[in-house]
Amino acid sequence: MNNDSRLPIADARVLAAMRAVNPPIEKLMTDRLSLRIEVRRTQQELEAVDRQITELRYFREVQIPRYIAVAKLVSLAAASILLVALINALFFGLIEVKITGFLLASLILPLWITDQAERAFGRWRLFLGRPPMFFPASANI
């Protein structure tokens, strides 16, 4: 179209078509910069979401089972101590036999609750001569 003559292009439609086919370099660079900024922002958002998923996974797979293990240990220790105290009280006649049913139920309830939590999140198993191992909830079925 242009034969390197210095005559201006008179037709506005031809000029608009040429600009549409060959946009100015400034516009291309601006578009490229905005795309780079968009890609960086998207990567940062993905990294933030990935960090959050990792933290939540750590909380669910590590922290909650540890809390459940501690709660089970405490409730088991308390139930054992109270059971020994209850047996002593029954043996020496300090309480009546009617009360023991309610006391035993109140001792077993925390253990039942921790067992339900272990079924949902997984459980720790203790072995003699080996370190304790954690089995996720899917392996307990």
Residue range 76-85, pLDDT digits in tens:
888 888 888 8
Q: Identify whether 83 is part of a domain.
A: yes
Q: Identify whether 3 is part of a domain.
A: no
Stronger pLDDT, 41 or 117, i.e. the higher one: 41
Mean pLDDT of 3-27: 70
Indicate whether 69 pLDDT > 70.
yes
Indicate whether 74 pLDDT > 50.
yes
Per-chain mean pLDDT for the chain: 81
Q: Identify whether 70 is part of a domain.
A: yes
Stronger pLDDT, 22 or 53, i.e. the higher one: 53
- What Å distances lie between residue 121 and 19, 54, 70, 125, 140, CA to CA? 63, 17, 14, 13, 10
Q: Identify whether 6 is part of a domain.
A: no
Q: Identify whether 32 is part of a domain.
A: yes
Q: Residue 121: enclosing H or E segment and its boundaries?
A: helix 97-121
Domain tally, the chain: 1
Answering whether pTM is above 0.85, one says no
Q: Identify whether 68 is part of a domain.
A: yes
Indicate whether 123 pLDDT > 60.
yes
Q: Identify whether 8 is part of a domain.
A: no
Domain with 76, as residue range(s), is 25-139
Indicate whether 139 pLDDT > 70.
no
Q: Identify whether 1 is part of a domain.
A: no
Q: What's the confidence (pLDDT) of residue 141?
A: 44
